[in-house]
Homo-oligomer: A and B are copies of this chain.
Amino acid sequence: MHQDPFSVLAEPARRNILDQLRMGETSVSELVERLDLSQPSVSKHLKVLREAGFVSSKVAAQRRIYRLELERVRAIDEWLAPYRAMWTRSLDALERHLDKMEE
């Protein structure tokens, strides 16, 4: 089964779905409309996202409302952290350099 968050996000459609959910909870059919994908396709992607913990769902009549779960996105962010540290260090160095120039 898909566990790895990175491979889950490798699919553009899934990132698009998450981007939509960032704006708020959404039903499947809303996603189908907004993303111009087939309903089965959306459902399948949602299943992957759900099993990977990126989204959760609740039932509302016949609809299922999907909601973004930030936790898993943080997993990606954690992998990125040391890299981000690298470029912020470079930025800091640049700033210090510019400060010196002003003297």
Q: Which residues in A have some Cβ–Cβ distance to B below 8 Å?
A: 4, 6-7, 9-10, 12, 15, 18, 22, 70, 73-74, 76-77, 79-80, 82-84, 86-87, 90
Contacts and interface: CB of A to CB of B under 8 A. Distances in A.
A5 to B, nearest CB: 10
A10 B6 contact: yes
Number of this chain's copies in the assembly equals 2
Given A80-B77, A83-B70, A84-B77, A7 B10 contact: yes
A98 to B, nearest CB: 20
A6 B79 CA distance: 13
B87 A70 contact: yes
Nearest to A79: B15
24 contacts: A4-B10, A4-B12, A6-B6, A6-B9, A6-B10, A6-B12, A7-B10, A9-B10, A10-B10, A15-B79, A18-B83, A22-B83, A22-B86, A70-B83, A70-B87, A70-B90, A73-B80, A73-B83, A74-B87, A76-B76, A76-B80, A77-B80, A77-B83, A80-B80
